[in-house]
Structure 1
Amino acid sequence: MSVDLGLVRQMWRLMEPVHALVYYAPEVFARFAKLGFDTETRWPSYFPLRSAPLGAVGPELVAATFYSFNPAMVREHIPAAWRTATPDDVLAARRDGVDEALGTLTTAIDLREAVDLARRLVDGVSTVGRPLGAANADLPWPDEPHLALWHAATVLREIRGDGHVAALLTAGLDPVESLVSFAGVGAAPRAVFASRGWSDEDWDAAARRLVERGWLDEDGSATDAGHAGRDEVERMTDELAAPAYRALGAEQLGRFAQLVMPVTMAVVHTGLLPRQSTLGLSR
């Protein structure tokens, strides 16, 4: 079936907040604190929370799959996280935290039809070459509708993320350059990308490489070539994510969006999610 790539991107924007709740919900942090993690800042729980489907893997694999983070930052938290809790403990904590957080937000929303369509979307994904997406797809489907919807959003999100890494590699952008070039097109201010752990020297060196490549002006803003390059990265990301959405078709995607929108808005209205992020959702 034919589905416009613009619709693929819209579906990502719709589902991303549903997935992202896990990184900000107090209910999730409370369970991680019980496991022994420092929850005063986001990162000690973030790295195990997101990588746990891969198992008790080392920092090199986590840095490779997360891509944009400074590997030194990853090494601060992995493998130390697995000395605090096992991946199974982490998966249980994130599931139980999302169960409480999202369950509270969706008590008045009938999710049965949305979950049916979400399952069909996930059935249409290709996990080939997508380690984080595949690891999450390997996890069992929850019985509770709100958790099943969150599981689907997570699988689709990580499938897309793996494809985005492939698009960045194809464009010849290393992890720092991927951030600098994205800031150059106005995705978010430079300060937002500092969360990825790169030094000013790392950032400035990447900017110089992109100036030499013709992607950035000296002031750090994207040139026409830089805009075109980033547009192609996003187009390829959408294209790599598209098969699942094409399998469902535009009409049923429209119905799915209608059913999921109340959940997305309920998450957004909590005020827990940041207004700006490295994903460029506010663009």
Structure 2
Amino acid sequence: MWHLLEPLHAVIYYAPEAFTEAASLGYDTSERWPSYFAWRAAPLGPVGAARTASAWYSFDPAMVARYVPAVWDVATPEAVLAARLRAVDAAYRAILGDEVVEGPDIAEAAALARRAAEATDLAGRPLAAANAELPWPDAPHLVLWQAAMTLREHRGDGHLAALLTAGLDPAESLVSFAAIGAASEATFAGRGWSEKDWSAARARLAARGLVTPDGAATEAGRALRAEVERRTDELAAAPWAALGTEGTARLADLLGGPWLAVIGSGVLPSENTLGIGKV
């Protein structure tokens, strides 16, 4: 379900329509990060760098501080929240077409995804809780997107708990993920860690027997990452248990067409830190 929903959520960070909305708010769109920080952090309110870095975990805190809280000098979180719904509306219409956006399948998918999102367990999950507190939009395609956002942050919050339990700090979490071939090291550079930080994290993992000196995962390193993913799945299961096997399967069927449209649109990068592939 994560693989089906994540691309539908991620258009907010990559679609041209999202950058158009960001520019209308006054954000610099020559790079993706000003709007990324605004879009994702807005549900938390006008937070500072420390709380943002804590909630997002894998970003270098110094990188976070370059954008937060400065993004709130450009636009308020309330303005950003309204703009991101306009951005998703425009992006979905461009990618899926009006007929699909306004059709019965999207409406049914939205109702099912909302049921799952409303069943999220929010204790210790700040990003999921912040999105869950937002009012639901009226339009079904926007309900679908907001449910996808809440569900992915719910899973993400649990993933961070799994990383902490595994003893992987923010930099180590990326180095260990790159070590199993999830994406190239260059792709993870977007999280802001310096070469010195990356090398130090690799050395710490090597001392634990999790990677080789050149950064490849050892058997123990792969086993630890597998355990992190298993625990992440386990912690993300509650919404789908609440929706039930039949409801979950029906939602998966309904998401197939939109998923293919988003993946096939070329909006999302072919290599990314999200684990999203291309057809």
TM-score of the alignment, normalized to the shorter chain, above 0.5: yes
**Which of 150, 155, 171 is 2:145 aligned to?**
150
Give the structure 2 partner of residue 185 of structure 1: 180
- Tell me how far apart the structure 2 counterparts of residues 100 and 137 of structure 1 sit (CA, whole Å): 23
* Larger displacement relative to structure 2 (102-111 or 19-28): 102-111
| Deviations 1:79-98, CA, capped at 9 Å, x for gaps | 11111110011111111111
Residue number among 232, 236, 240 corresponding to 1:241 in the alignment:
236
Contiguous gaps of at least 5 residues in structure 2: none
For residue 132 of structure 1, what is the aligned residue in structure 2? Answer: 127
CA distance in 2, matches of 1:270, 1:172: 38
Q: Distance in 2 between matches of 1:106 and 1:232?
A: 40
2:53: which partner in 1? Answer: 63
Shift of 1:103: 2.9
In the alignment, the residues of structure 2 paired with residue 243 and residue 93 of structure 1 have an alpha-carbon distance, to the nearest angstrom, of 30
SS in 2 for 1:275: coil
Deviation string, structure 1 residues 142-194 (Cα, Å, up to 9, x no partner): 11111110001000000011111111111110000000000011100111000
Q: One-letter code of the match for 1:218? A: P
Aligned match of 2:13: 23
User: Are the aligned partners of 2:7 and 2:276 in contact in 1 as well (CA < 8 Å)?
Assistant: no
TM-score, normalised by the number of residues in structure 1: 0.94
Match of 1:205 in 2: 200
RMSD: 1.2
Query: Displacement, 1:250?
Result: 2.0
Residue 92 (structure 2) pairs with residue 97 (structure 1): no
Q: What secondary structure does 2:19 align onto?
A: helix
For CA contacts below 8 A with separation 6 or more, give which structure has more relative contact order. 1
Contact 1:106 1:263 in 2 (8 A): no
Distance 2:17 2:117 in 1: 26
CA contact (8 A) 1:127 1:159 kept: yes
SS in 1 for 2:265: coil
The alignment's TM-score, normalised by the length of structure 2, stands at 0.95
Asked if 1:121 corresponds to 2:112, the answer is: no
Query: Is the 8 Å Cα contact of residues 207 and 220 (structure 1) preserved in structure 2?
Result: yes
- Give the counterpart of 1:108 among 80, 99, 106: 99
Q: 2:158 aligns with which of 149, 156, 163?
A: 163
Q: CA deviation at 1:107?
A: 2.1
For residue 158 of structure 1, give the secondary structure of its aligned residue in structure 2.
helix
Distance 1:176 1:83, change over 3 A: same
Moved segments of 4+, more than 6 Å: none
Matches within 5 A, 1:42-81: 42-81=32-71
Sequence identity, in percent?
57
Map Cα deviations across residues 45-86 of structure 1 (whole Å, 9 max, x no partner). Answer: 111110000000100000001110001111110111111110
Matched residues in 2 for 1:215 and 1:264: separation? 35
Report the more deviating stretch, 46-55 or 271-280.
Answer: 271-280
